[in-house]
Amino acid sequence: MNVIFMGPPGAGKGTQAEKIVSEFQIPHISTGDAFRLAMSQGTPLGIEAKGYVDKGLLVPDEITNGIVRERLAQQDCEKGFLLDGFPRTIAQADALGEIVQSLNKKIEHVINLKVDRSFLLARLTGRRICKSCGATYHVIFNPPKQSDICDKCSGELYQRSDDTEEKVGTRLDEYTNKTAPLLDYYNKREILREVNGEQDIHAVTQQISSLLRGLA
Ligand code: AP5
Ligand code: ZN
């Protein structure tokens, strides 16, 4: 099963991806995670990406497409994959079409997590992430049992550098201008499915899971 998760920053793509890849046993490919890992390691890719990510701007298409091209060719993607945060522009969607075609695959489902902009600032500024295992929490909506400590691995929780009010504003504008047009792009190809991402986390997971199992 080859799936894309779409939705604005803070819609819940990463949170839901964690659960869905565990149920369907497919790799989770997040371009945002790939950039953050490269940034933390100080690689040339990380240094270049940092200039964009820290401002809340999209990283140029050629860089991002290259990462996905390499990743989808790996063997663990044979059984399927979940793309989270890619594509984000029409040019990226066109590139993805070419990549999957060259690998004799196709995108089967595009799940759009629909959440009103008014929810997103609180979700993003309250987000905390585990330094060790990457699990995502929220100080109010999904708090860890012990403040600032991961329930799963006891790792330390941190706040992303782009989760400030000012950068969230830029990220939401980037989404509206460059990414939202992709909904029409995939709707025309009849693979877009919408899920109400304003429900609680468990209800959203159940809805996505039913859709992907063909039960909805
Ligand atoms: P990326 O890491 O992809 O960030 P994003 O798209 O902005 O999405 P987020 O990770 O912020 O949100 P999410 O939808 O995953 O929400 P989450 O589940 O964590 O990209 C970061 C940057 O990298 C970009 O700005 C860009 O610079 C660069 N980049 C990445 N991909 C790129 C590309 N393709 N092209 C160019 N540049 C690229 O949830 C958020 C919070 O809400 C959490 O605290 C969670 O606990 C809580 N929450 C989740 N669901 C619910 C719910 N149902 N109810 C209540 N709370 C909830
Ligand atoms: Zn952890």
- Report whether 183 belongs to an annotated binding site: no
pLDDT, tens digit, 9 for 90 and up, residues 104-125: 999 999 999 999 999 999 999 9
Count Cβ atoms below 10 Å from residue 120 Cβ, excluding itself: 20
Mean pLDDT confidence for 128-150: 94
- Report whether 13 belongs to an annotated binding site: yes
- Residue 20 pLDDT exceeds 70: yes
Q: Please name the residue whose Cα sits nearest to atom 53 of ligand 1.
A: 201
Residue 194 CB burial class (10 angstroms; 0-12, 13-18, ≥19): middle
Q: What integer pLDDT is reported at residue 216 of this predicted model?
A: 59
Ligand 1 atom closest to the Cα of residue 87 is 34
Residue 63 · residue 49 · CB < 8 Å: yes
CA angle (185 as vertex; 174, 165 as ends), nearest 5? 20
Active site residues: 13, 88, 127, 160, 171
**Which of 15, 54, 84, 167 is the best mutation target for the ligand 1 pocket, counting ligand atoms within 8 Å of the beta carbon and taking the most?**
15
Q: Which residues pair with 192 in a beta bridge?
A: 110
Report the alpha-carbon distance of residue 45 to residue 64 in Å, rounded: 10
pLDDT, tens digit, 9 for 90 and up, residues 152-201: 999 999 999 999 999 999 999 999 999 999 999 999 999 999 999 999 99
Matching residue, tokens 């060259």: 102
Q: What integer pLDDT is reported at residue 91 of this predicted model?
A: 98
What value does the mean pLDDT of the chain take?
96
Q: Which residues pair with 109 in a beta bridge?
A: 3
